[in-house]
Amino acid sequence: MITDRAGDYLVDVAMASVKYHLDTGKTLVKPDDYPIELDEKLGVFVTINKNNKLRGCIGYAEPVKPAIDATIDVAIAAAFEDPRFNQISEKEFEELEFEVTVLTKPEMIVVAHPDQYFDEIEIGRDGLIIQKG
């Protein structure tokens, strides 16, 4: 798990990434001064809201890259590539709220019978990755 300080830092990086992309059309270069714990590969989602309504949300459910890099990538994707919404505009940037969700590494749940999953999963705490086959 990451510290609150590192989490706040990721929110700042997500906002800066979107702003930089708006201004330049380029991807923000990873800052030099980030908390070292953000080098850990973790799943990351960036959610963007405007007036308490979803404006974009993209992420990695799996830990595919360091949290700092993943946050930069998915912040830009949430702002400019979420197919459900138009791209974020410079005009609306100040009205946006950013949230970064950092996921722990997925763990396999092994049970003897499917009914036992209900005892192993806690709604509000656990996210699920479901595979068939």
Is residue 89 domain-resident?
yes
Give how far Cα 36 sits from Cα of 5, 17, 68, 112, 119, Å: 12, 19, 9, 40, 36
pLDDT tens-digit map of 18-29: 999 999 999 999
119: which 2 tokens?
Answer: 């005892």
Is residue 124 domain-resident?
no
Of residues 45, 54, 35, the one with CA closest to residue 14: 45
52: which 2 tokens?
Answer: 């308490």
Following DSSP, what letter does each residue of 51-117 receive, concatenated? TTEEEEEEEESS--SBHHHHHHHHHHHHHHT-TTSPPP-TTTGGGEEEEEEEEPPP-----SSGGGH
Q: What is the structure's pLDDT at 21? A: 98
Total number of domains constituting the chain: 1
Domain boundaries, position 87? 4-106
Domain CATH code at residue 13: 3.30.700.20
Whole-prediction pTM value? 0.88
Is residue 24 domain-resident?
yes
pLDDT tens-digit map of 48-100: 999 999 999 999 999 999 999 999 999 999 999 999 999 999 999 999 999 99
Is residue 129 domain-resident?
no
Task: pLDDT band for 133, please (50, 70, 90 cuts).
Answer: confident
To which residue do tokens 């799943």 refer? Answer: 43
